[in-house]
Structure 1
Amino acid sequence: MLVELVPLLFQYANLTVTPRYYESPLPIAGDLLPNGTWNGVTGELLAGRADIAVFPIARGVGPSSVIDLTYTYDELGLQMLVKQELTSAASSSLFLAPFTTSLWLVLVATVVGMPVLIQIFAKLSPLGAFELIKLRNLTAKSRTQEFKVVCENDSYFMDILQAATSSNVEGPTAKSWAVRLPILYFYFFMVVVGAAYTASFASFLTVNNFSSKVNSLEQLARDPTLKYVIEDNGATLAYFQDSIDPIIQQLRPRLQTVRSIRDGVAAVQSGEASAYIAESHVLQHIAGQLPCNLQVVGALFGPNGLALGVRRGWPYTQALNVAMLQLMQNGVGDELRRKWVGNQDICTSSSQVSNRALQSTDFSGLWYTLFCAIAIGVVIIIWENLMVNVLQSFPALRSSFLSGTNSLKYHESVGDLFSAGDEDRADFTNNPAYEVPAGSASDRIAKLSSPTTSHEAGTLKDESVDRILDQGEYESADACMTDLAAML
């Protein structure tokens, strides 16, 4: 990156210069030796053998006291490089891992609360979960008997539990859309939640889980058994020696050094050290290379400005500083950073599967739409009650309305908007598919009976039944009434 940056600096500074590079005998920023001289790239600048050091030097410490520095080209600080260790996924509670605890609690509350809410809706709606059928044996002049035809799942708990645990469920049995709409959407809700759980659980079973001994600088300071290393020269060493940060002071007695970046990485790979502390951009590049078992952890800390070193008194320093500002402001610096740091990462794939536990916020859209379905159900309940009250208050309108709805038929059975379908009538009729033979006594019984809006079976007069019995087509009144019940 720096080799490409330097020619751009000269170009933006309008300097016709052709850089000539050579490698420093010691590839470090530089240390002050006991004899008062400096080694590394700082020593090369002080000796006059170089005008500019194409090497990252932190501002404010070490060599910056004897050489000049350009404006910073990177604002990164220090971080820790640690080794990733594969952890076993086997656990008795692994099936709970795809969802966080808060999400499990919210889902349980939803599954328990929905049937309670639906039951309330069914009670409030005039087209609720059941209808009342009245039958009377007219021949015997018996009292009217009431039959309450209810849905199969009276409390709706089974409807909700089936939706929560099975993908093969029947539709809601209620007639009111105030009940049907929330249940139908809850089916969709649970399909999405179930699919998300399946995918997340599969990732927990198949994706390798990695962990590290150290995740933060504070953890490194608290655990005296954890070892760390830094380079034995440069700004990082100076920072650890001179910092007044309490955490750094706590770490200072355990300070161990290595000669180079390569030695620091080797110490972490071999397990001799739990962490290697260095400049963040250097560690990010190392972690992105094979064998892809290293990870950069912890927040940034320490010196956070990297610059190029120049010989003190060099006449082009000011021009390079102006050029550096231009490069950073027009985005060229960011482009170089992405090219040489971000794009060099071969370990992180954009398609990498994550086994992060899903949270409640991940499903917030589902709950918002569920609340909308419930709100629509409330509106439907209000409309249904308003409609019933209006029809009861205006008899003429009620008669006109019912005369139209009485023409609705369900499998040869006459009904209205307030009656259940044949799936409910199967509980008390002999045959839901009962066919009336043309011209038979049963046909005449049907003509003599008339359904009413109160669901009363009919008003067949005793003399009408007796007249049909006299014709010899029925042996008894009970047989006649059996056909009558089947017709109604």
Structure 2
Amino acid sequence: MKQHTIIIIFTIIALSAVAISLLTYFISHSKKHELAPISTLNTTTTAKNQLTNGFTTKTSSTNQFNNPTTSISTCVTTTTVKTDTPTIMGIANTQVINISSSMKITTTMMNTNVQASTSNQSAFWNIDMPLNYGRSKFGSALLANGQIFVAGGYINSSTIISRTEVYTSTGWQLATSMKAIRATHTVTAFANNTKVLVAGGDTTASVQAAEVYDIVNNTWTSTVNNMSATRDSHTATLLANGQILIAGGWSLSHKSVSAAELYIPSLNSFINTTSMNIARAYLTSTLLSDGSTVLVTGGVNANKNLVSTAELYINGSWILISNSMTQTRAYHAAVLLNDGTVLVAGGGDGGTSAYSTAEFYNPISRNFTAVGSMQYGRGALTLTLLPSGKVLATGGADWASNIYPLVCELYDPVTRTWSNTLMLNQARSYHQTVLTKAIDCDVLGPQFTWILGSTVQLNSFSQADNAKLIGILTIEPVVASAVNEPTNTTLLNAAYDIWQQYEPETFPGAENVNAYALFTFDATWLLIRSLEQLCSITNNHSSPCLSIVNDSFCFNRRLLDSSLLFDIINNNTFLGVSGLVQFSANSTDRVSGVYYIVKNIQSLSNELNYVPVLVWSNSDAWTPHSQQNMIIWPGQSLVAPTGYATIAGVTLRIAVIEAPPFTMTQQVADTNGIITTKLIGYIPDLLAILQTNMGFIPNITLLPSTQSYDGLIDDVANNVYDIVAGDVTILAERREQVSFTDSIYDNSLRIIVRNTASASPDFWFYLRPFSLGVRLCILGSIIFAALLMYLYEGGHNDALKHKPTISRLVMSTWYPLGNIMGYGVDFTVKTGAGRFLTFSVFFLSLVLIATYQATLTSNLTLRQTQNIISGIDDIKNGKIPYGRIGIVTNSSIEAYYLQEISNGIRNFYPLRTEEAIFTSLLSKVIDAAIMDEGVLEYETSSNYCNLTLVGTGFDPSAFGIVFQKNWVYEQVLDVNILSLRESGTINNLKSKWFQSNTCSQSSDTSSGSSIEVMGGLFVTFAVMCGLSIILFIWLKLPIRHRLSQMVLNLRYRICPSARTPPDTPLDVQRPSDVTDV
């Protein structure tokens, strides 16, 4: 009887709790129709919790992207209930962010303490009361009374303040201001956290002064002396002996310092200690487990370079650790772990890059070991050691991507890995405010698709803004009856009757009761059923069936039969007012009866309404709500968004660099005769096609050819331009700063040299087929054959024997020469020996002519194709002096040369522009140059016909359009580039701009032998013709007769018997009579 009385009393109490819960949800939802705040959002309750050492519960939210779980510790003095309340987190830009299913937590009237839990679990962030002053680069410390003290900092980009605040249970209270304004200073609590030392800092210049805040008296006192050096961005570490070690920092002269000093609290003054081995600013300083050793890591040195070294401060001395960190770091964070090691994570250079890497320091081996990396690069982050031994990483900046992560991450020292926690989140009651701000910033439809976790009042927006709201989706948990699934209407009506009986003034009507109230009711009813079953099983009448072991510490209070109660809950299945209620031992989520509904904001009769379009359940996943209701997407479109932001109507700052044929200028005159400059080329045509397809508004800036390509990468990374289009090579090093589209031009490198057709003439080239020895042999053979012919035919051949001796010798010489040349002679041989000699000469002629012709043809062919080098291998082998090779500096060509040819030595001839390549070659300043194939092919076929390419292409690469990392329009640009490649448009542009050839029409360079090669032959022929002309003239001149008479007289003197008076006078003799002479 006693047992049943307890059950009845408990039932009345539980139903009263239901009524209070219903009233709470009605007030917060039905009356105001606002989104549930975080505290209400997480009211899903369960008795299935960890009851060791008190009621410690877990709230899980299963999510299609991750599985965040919140661990909530609380003192439980009220009934533990179990309910299923699906939770929707966040507002989504363009995609669904977070859809959570059923949760189990413990409801209580006590305050809860939210902590990050184990791997794959997350903490909810609640927006607390704001500071009186928005601050950055301030200092903070935890005081003895549990309050938080903050001091100084920037309140805007240039204003530094001295104001201080203290966080108490009632919010942030202003405290006495410091004596000086400070930022990037240190704030260190000491003397059992009853006093605070504020040292150094930036007051537009680094300062040496320090002051002490007394918490009890709320007063500031200056230290007896100043620090030995001006400092900001330094470290201050409280040692176990109560002294404070000050180290490093940024000096007044904008250099990091190595000086260190100790603050002595009993003297309220500083004393010097030994300096660090390396000057450091933006460093970390961590007190190790022994209480006296301090680990200092990373920072920026005196040369303003990031360092990876670390030092130990031991007994007044600094020891440089021989094993450096795995990466240079500044603006990083470090925290001492429970096992005595130190976790070092994040950091960056303060402006252009941030690191996601992490490592830990082992004080025994004095080694650094890399661990798993964080998801985001984080500079200026915060690391916090949690009671669980894990480390929470919050905030920071990824300067490379201009991202300030809202996602927190947990480091598990056991697995040495990081996992995500929940975002630093806006409470749901702020959704309407966020939407209003989104309208002001124009980030709603039609460019963006928003998905909300709850409905908002649509009548609070202006008529002009309604079009931007169309297409927004909301996703909310609902009870089974909302999707035509069965519910326990008998139980629900009984609950409504009790409500109307005891609090009729708060009952909103059955149709207006919020779904969260029904989830809470089912959780309560499940607990009532489970407790009833527990008490029916327990037969010990000496004590109540719900015995609780009391303890002065609330977390040690526990239910005696908690394990049995858990088993009952897991096996208790019933049809509740929200649908089928069922849990399992292997999951904290409800395994059935979970339903969601998606509503779509649509314009009906010129008014905005929520139209249900999709329904989700455990069994059917997403299904249409009805065939009549279709989703209207932003822009009042029936076509689902592509999943990436549209670029239509967006003005893009586009930079192009002048580099024919990619980008060129052309003067164009309009109908009025006004001359304007127009961009033409491969890139302008490509941009015009992209503009037509994508609808963006181009704002094009033409950069000169002297612009360095590496400088363009920096400009995009620093947001000077949105994109850069041109012959910019995709390199891994550049991808660290920016991103690229897919290839817009497949490129390789080529070598350009002067054309050999412009070489100096070789007058004796036609004699080159025979060597000097062969030529002498030919001459000797002709002379020898002439003597034999004179011997064989001189006295027997009628054509010779009547001739003078000289004439016979000449004719004998002419015979083999004419036969060898293939011309023939003026007489025929008469003797057998002469005929055989003729055969010998013919045979010699046949072989010599064939050999000459073949060799000359080969030489002419080789001469036409001969260049000083044949390809890249000749350059690597040093066939051309390196100083005669032209390379455009600050380009990918230079990077290739340094890596593949010179091993990092800049021994080439530096050129600033591509145009300098051609002018330097023509002026013979250089002998060869390396450049992109497309540019060289265009120039040598259109403008520089006396230059030529040698060898084949090497170092294949690709050109891409440059844009910032994580650019919102990245995907739509990539899709369009790929579409142009697949459709052949890219190939058509290549044919248009790279395959034209004007040199073939205007140049006299062809496959035939050039005048420079064959000029020597024609010069020789001209000389021989000249000699024949001189001989002809000689025979016609009168002096010839006198010379002939002199020769005859000389002859007669030598041989008087030859004197025969001529029949005619000498002066009238015929010229033929003296021809032989």
TM-score computed with the length of structure 1 as normaliser = 0.43
Larger Cα-atom Rg = 2
Alignment TM-score, normalising by the size of structure 2: 0.21
Of structures 1 and 2, the one with the larger relative CO (CA 8 A, separation 6+) is 1
